[in-house]
Copies of this chain bind each other. A is one copy, B any other.
Amino acid sequence: MSTPSLGEFELIRRYFAEASTDASVALGIGDDCALLIPAPDEVMAVSIDTLVEGTHFLPGTAPEHLASRLLGASVSDLAAMGARPAWFTLALTLPEATEAWLEPFATSLIAIANALNIRLVGGDTTRGPLSLSAQVHGFVPVDKALRRQGAAVGDLVCVTGTLGDSRAGLETLLKQEPQSATVDYLQARFNAPTPRLKTGLALRGIATACVDISDGVLADLGHLLNNSALGADLNIDTLPLSPQLLAYAGLKQAQQWALTGGEDFELCFTCPASMQDTLASLPEPVAVIGQISPVPGIRLDGQPVSGAGGYDHFAKESS
Kindly identify which residue among B11, B46, B127, B140 contacts A89, using a CB–CB cutoff of 8 Å: B46
User: Is A315 an interface residue when CB atoms closer than 8 A count as contact?
Assistant: yes
| A116–B10 CA distance with the chains assembled, in angstroms | 32
**Which residues in window 86-133 of A have CB below 8 A to B?**
87, 89-91, 93-94, 96-97, 121-129, 131, 133
* Per-residue interface assignment for chain A, residues 12 to 31, with 1 indicating a CB less than 8 Å from any chain B CB and 0 otherwise: 00000000000000110011
| A47–B210 CA distance with the chains assembled, in angstroms | 29
Q: Name the residue of chain B whose CB is nearest to the CB of A3.
A: B318
Contact A131 B47 (CB under 8 A): no
The winner among A38, A148, A210, A317 for most chain B CB atoms within 10 A is: A38
- Residues of B near A137 (CB, < 8 A) are 46
- Residues of B near A131 (CB, < 8 A) are 93, 128-129, 131
Contact B142 A26 (CB under 8 A): yes
**What's the minimum C-beta distance from A88 to chain B, rounded to whole angstroms?**
10
User: Is A181 an interface residue when CB atoms closer than 8 A count as contact?
Assistant: no
Q: Which size bracket describes the interface of A in this complex?
A: 35 or more
**Which residues in window 49-88 of A have CB below 8 A to B?**
49-56, 77-78, 80-81, 83, 87
| A140–B148 CA distance with the chains assembled, in angstroms | 32
Q: Name the residue of chain B whose CB is nearest to the CB of A94.
A: B314
- Residues of B near A140 (CB, < 8 A) are 35
- Residues of B near A4 (CB, < 8 A) are 312, 314-316
| A123–B135 CA distance with the chains assembled, in angstroms | 9
Q: Name the residue of chain B whose CB is nearest to the CB of A129.
A: B129
Contact B8 A34 (CB under 8 A): no
Query: Contacts A46-B89, A97-B314; is A33 near B77 (CB within 8 Å)?
Result: yes
- Residues of B near A204 (CB, < 8 A) are none
Kindly identify which residue among B34, B47, B309, B317 contacts A47, using a CB–CB cutoff of 8 Å: B34
**What's the minimum C-beta distance from A245 to chain B, rounded to whole angstroms?**
18
Kindly identify which residue among B6, B37, B52, B81 contacts A314, using a CB–CB cutoff of 8 Å: B6
**Which residues in window 124-175 of A have CB below 8 A to B?**
124-129, 131, 133, 135, 137-138, 140, 142, 145, 147-149
Contact A83 B33 (CB under 8 A): yes
- Residues of B near A37 (CB, < 8 A) are 43-44, 142
- Residues of B near A312 (CB, < 8 A) are 2, 4, 7-9
User: Is A5 an interface residue when CB atoms closer than 8 A count as contact?
Assistant: yes
Query: Contacts A93-B131, A315-B3; is A49 near B121 (CB within 8 Å)?
Result: no
What are some 21 contacts across the A-B interface (CB < 8 A)? A1-B260, A4-B315, A6-B314, A7-B315, A8-B313, A31-B149, A32-B210, A32-B211, A32-B212, A33-B47, A33-B80, A35-B145, A37-B44, A40-B40, A46-B137, A52-B126, A55-B128, A91-B135, A126-B313, A127-B313, A129-B131
